[in-house]
Amino acid sequence: MENKTSHKIKIPEIYIYFSFICALSLLLLYFNNYIGLICFGISFGLFFHNWRHNLLRTKQWNEYIESLYLTADDTTKKAIVNLPIPLCVIEFDGTITWYNNKFHDMINIPVIFNKNIEDLIGDISLRKVLDEKEQMSEEVVYKDRNYTVLYNVVKEQKEKNPKYYMILYWMDNTDRLAIEKQYNEEKNAILLIQVDGYDQVLESAKEEKRSLITMEIEKVLAELEKQTSCALKRTARDKFIVIMNRCSLLKLQEEKFSMLDKIRSIDHGNVLPVTVSVGVGVEGDSQKQNLELATGALDLALGRGGDQAVVKTKDKFEFYGGKSKAVEKKTKVKSRLIGHALREIIKQSEEIYIMGHKYPDMDSIGSAIGLFDICKSQKKKAKIVLDNCNEAIGIYLDKLRGVEYFSNVFISKEEAIDNCSRDTLVIVVDTHRPNHTECEELLNISKRIVVIDHHRRGVEFINDSILLFHEIYVSSTSELVTELVQYIEEDINIHKLTAEGLLAGICLDTKNFSFKTGVRTFEAASYLRKSGADTVEVRQIFNSDVNDFLVRAQTIESTKIIDNRICIAYAKTETKNINVIIAQVADELLNIKEVEASFVLCKKDDMVFISSRSLGGINVHVMMEKLGGGGHIDIAGAQLRDVTLEEAYDKVEQIIIEYLEEEENESNITKRR
């Protein structure tokens, strides 16, 4: 080891400084003897003080090193001197007082002694060490090398006035991190790819063009296989499995799964668009777990409408795509099968509870009443869990309470929890998220749960249901229940108010048949009309008073238009019916020329409600999902607790701006291609 205390003590810069001061003193001596002598004396005093201070510090460290040598054997001495890792000793202010050869090689500058460690390294912090009771470590990058720095506080062996120093051990992790990065990049990921509605897409094209569609799909996937060096295997006519490394998957994620756009652009006269759903499983503990993650991711992608990729790890989900609307299925085979299965489940149940989501709307309460009537047709008594009546369903509930047929139909949450058991049948309508249900506790008590919903699937989902009817292509849950009514019994007769509640639910979610309507929507409405639903009575369910009209006008007045495409507004007045009003305003704002989406906020109690609408070109579901909400591409919403209206407004505005920026970036990437 170099003798650091013999030739590293005198620092050349000090001599330069003192030489300069002495020169100035001599110059002053030439012009004014008195002032010059004073300055010369001060300079000499400073020089002597610096020399004496360095001499004292050197003596102290010599004594300390000697004490180490006296208490250590030869092997320990050699270990300290020839330690194969960089090591330095510093004071608490960061001044370097000793270092070994490896540290000198690491820093690689002529003078290190008495330098401050923070000036040399830059991004190192010593203040945290004083607050730690145990040995602390820190990751530091220096000259493109990665180090783990271990701090150790030592006490100088003196009986009186002991001094404390820090020893820093520099563990070079660069090579290990490079190997770890390479290992992570070479980990396998499993992709499950399914063509959405494959048979229906082919049927929508002329027979001579169908083979071209299949060939184009295979061409895109073959290009993916070539670019990523993955292994691709067809497992069915419309299904593929892909195995690729993590590095290739990261590139796909950076490109936002551009293969989705390529497949969507396939056009050989097919009326229905060609889309695929991709489920990705990665970072599992085994290939088996990756396959399980990929299967769950594919189910989630399909449950959200397809035309998207879902990347699933053990801890989180990531979503890409989802730009297309779900395609309506013309066949009612599934509705018939679900109807027969539901009938058998109801017959086997002694106690039945039906519940929708919190703050129910007409779709939620209408579908619940429809299921109540189904249960009654099977001579089973059912109860609808409802704690609080809100203005969105107030008029309809008043009608129900005036009819003996619906007496005692509602039950409170507390009573339902007290009476619920493992064998109680719990039917959840118009939501699939446990924390959005009217009474989440029932899901933990009962082991017989049925879910009927039409919303795009979110990360949270009611698991272990004995029957699931989840179809996102339909207009509303009321439409699903109307189809089930027709397949429960051939000669079933539902009450007039039941038919009106179901029709009101369809009207609400379709905005009077202007959004998300298909052939089956009108067929359901036709059946309800035959069952006695009065369209005038249905219209009156949505009537509002003059105060609501004025609040609606004030809310529209607050409208701000972003990028000439998206409206955002908020309700200044808090009324009982405000969450219904903002939904109406969101619909109204879409009538503005060139506006493609709208977002309207309101404050009610300690909750901020957000209602969003779109003409289909902007995916409001993805945007509301960032706030914990969801819905559909063109109709979605969210609820925020413990935030002010201003804070919620800023969050929504920021999400809109981010969405537009991402859309612009994707457009630029597409143009470059």
Per-residue pLDDT reduced to its tens digit, 487-521:
887 678 899 999 999 999 999 888 888 777 888 89
Provide the residue ranges of all domains of the chain, joining segments of one domain with +. Answer: 4-169, 186-321, 333-541, 546-672
In 3D space, the residue among 126, 114, 132, 134 whose CA is nearest the CA of residue 58 turns out to be: 114
Q: What is the DSSP string of 73-141?
A: -HHHHHHHHT-SS-EEEE-TT-BEEEE-HHHHHHH--S--TT-BHHHHHSS---GGGGG-SS-EEEEEE
CATH code for the structural domain at 4-169: 3.30.450.20
Write out pLDDT tens, residues 552-580.
899 999 999 998 899 999 998 877 778 88
Amino acid 447: pLDDT: 92
* pLDDT band, very low/low/confident/very high, at 302 (cuts 50, 70, 90): confident
CATH code for the structural domain at 546-672: 3.10.310.30
Residue 480: pLDDT over 90 = yes
Fold of 333-541: inorganic pyrophosphatase (n-terminal core) (3.90.1640)
* pLDDT band, very low/low/confident/very high, at 11 (cuts 50, 70, 90): very low
Lowest mean pLDDT among 181-190, 314-323, 584-593, 619-628: 314-323
In 3D space, the residue among 90, 21, 18 whose CA is nearest the CA of residue 47 turns out to be: 18
Lowest mean pLDDT among 152-166, 268-282, 356-370: 152-166
Lowest mean pLDDT among 52-56, 75-79, 599-603: 75-79
CATH code for the structural domain at 186-321: 3.30.70.270
Maximum average pLDDT range among 21-25, 283-287, 298-302, 414-418: 414-418
Measured between alpha carbons, how far is 523 from 485 in angstroms, rounded to an integer? 13
- The total number of residues shown for the chain amounts to 673
Residue 327: pLDDT over 60 = no
Cβ-contact 309, 278 below 8 angstroms? yes
Same fold yes or no, 4-169 and 186-321 = no
In 3D space, the residue among 344, 359, 559 whose CA is nearest the CA of residue 450 turns out to be: 344
Cβ-contact 586, 552 below 8 angstroms? no
Residue 586: pLDDT over 80 = yes
Report the DSSP beta bridge partners of residue 215.
none
- 254, 260, 665, 667 from 671: Cα distances, Å: 16, 16, 10, 6
Entry pTM? 0.63
